[in-house]
Amino acid sequence: MHLLHYLVPFRNDIRGFRRRLNPLGDAGYAVAEFAVVLPVLIFMTAIGMWSINVCVSQLELQSTVATISRTAARGDSVINLIDKAQENHIAVVVSSYDSVVSVNATKQVNFPLPALHDTVNLTASMTSSIESGNFGQ
């Protein structure tokens, strides 16, 4: 009776049902699933790397704005810093009013897929008080 159990699958036996549907077993399923999943994994990896690139660009933009703002608040020349920022495709606007220096900057980051012509605009701004020794300059 025990041997007969393995030779004749029961109606409710899932393994017997799968064997009748696919007598070759699971041959080829792993390759087909991998072929479907691989492009998705590549796409998700590319989007993840692009997201990290956007985060790093935002940190660089904030650092640039902070440096320019502090330098302008001390009364030093910021022309070299602005030129360096423009080489990195960062648009910088420096304005001064009352006893405050304000710096605003923007940078565009392109989306990695050529079919999508979208860009992400990163912005950063910082306001610094002009140091007391440089107030009248």
pLDDT in tens, 68-102: 999 999 888 889 999 999 998 999 999 988 889 99
pLDDT the model gives residue 113: 74
- What percent of the chain has pLDDT above 90? 42
Summarize the confidence of residues 113-129 as an average pLDDT: 85
In sequence order, the β-bridge partners of residue 93 are 104
Residue 112 pLDDT class (50, 70, 90 cuts): confident
pLDDT the model gives residue 123: 95
DSSP-assigned letters across all residues of 74-129: HT---HHHHHHHHHTTEEEEEEEETTEEEEEEEEEEE-S-TT---EEEEEEEEEEE
